[in-house]
Amino acid sequence: MAVLTYREALNRALDEELARDDRVLLMGEEVGEYDGAYKVSKGLLAKYGPNRVLDTPITELGFTGLGVGAAMAGLRPVVEWMTHNFALLALDQVVNEAAKMRYMSGGQFSVPIVFRGPNGPAEYLASQHSQALESYWAHVPGLKVVAPATPADAYGLLKSAIRDDDPVVMLEAEMMYGLKGEVPDGEFLVPIGKAEVRRPGSDVTLITYSKPLWTVLEAAEELARQGFSAEVLDLRTLRPLDEEAIYASVRKTNRCVVVTESWPQASVASHVAWLVSRNCFDRLDAPVELVSGEDVPMPYNHALELAAQPNVPKVVAAARRVLYAEG
C-alpha cells in the first residue's frame, strides 16, 4: 500500500475520475492556477486544461448554481468551496435546487454533483472561519453527506460521490489534509452509507466521524489502560446513516457515547444519540452521553480554542459516566 496524505488521496481520486469520465469537471476558488487553497487539485489544471479545471470568482452562490445547472445538463461537476464556512452563501443553491430537483421534477432531472471542501475547527481562525457545519447539510432530504476520517476513505468516498447520481456534500476536516495513512494501490470505492468499526470492544460504544475519530481512538486506548474495552464506530456517512451498524454495536456493549466537533443542539450527534435511546432502549445500561464542541462561537485564543473542542479527557470522562466508574 502507498502511504499518502489526506490531500494526496483526494488528488488521486480527482485525477482518476477526471481521466475516467470526460463529463467530470472541477470548479472553485483557486483550484486551477493556485493548485487549490489546500493543494488538493495540484497539477490538475496542467493535465486537464481550463475547460475541466475552472477557476471561479469569489462568488459561492454563483459558481455553486453554475455547477447545479451543469449537472442538470449532463455533466458531473465537483464544486470546491474554499471552506464550508463560505458555503453558507450557497445554501439556497444546494438546499432549494440541487437537493429538491429530482423530487420537484418527478424524476426527470438528476443532479450528479459533489460539493466539497474543509469543515470543522482549525487553528487561530476564530468564530467565522472555524466551525463544524455538517448539521446544515445532514438536515436536508435529497442530499447525501460524507465525512471521511482517513486518507483511504477520503479517496474511496470521493470516487463514490462523483459517480453518484444525486448531490453529495463531502466534509474534509481542515486539520487533516496533512494526515498520512495507507491507501491501497489499486482503484477502490468506499460505499456511501456504510460505517466502519475502527476498534472492537465490549464495554462501551464510542460513535464519531471525521477528525474526532483520532481523539476517540486515543480515548479508547486510555480506557483500555483503565481496564475498559471500548468499541469505536466511525460513521463515515452522515446521510444516510448506517443505523444497522450503530444498533449492532450498542446492543453488544449496552452503553454509548457520541462524539462530535459541532455544537450540541440539533446536531448530527444529538440525532444519533436520540436514535440509540429510542431503538436500543431495552438494551441500554446507562443513558447515552454526548461529547460535543462547546455551545459558543469558536474563540481565537488558542487555549480557549482547544478547550471548546472535544478532547481525550472529555471522552474518557463521558465513557466512565456510562460505565458508572467516575471518581
Q: Which are the catalytic amino acids? A: 60, 129
3-state secondary structure the chain: CEEEEHHHHHHHHHHHHHHHCCCEEEEECCCCCCCCCCCCCCCHHHHHCCCCEEECCCCHHHHHHHHHHHHHCCCEEEEECCCHHHHHHHHHHHHHHHCCHHHHCCCCCCCCCEEEEEECCCCCCCCCCCCCCHHHHHCCCCCEEECCCCHHHHHHHHHHHHHCCCCEEEEEEHHHCCCEEEECCCCCCCCCCCCEEEECCCCEEEEECCCHHHHHHHHHHHHHHCCCCEEEEECCEEECCCHHHHHHHHHHHCCEEEECCCCCCCCHHHHHHHHHHHHCHHHCCCCCEEECCCCCCCCCCHHHHHHCCCCHHHHHHHHHHHCCCCC
CA–CA separation, 97 and 95 (whole Å): 6
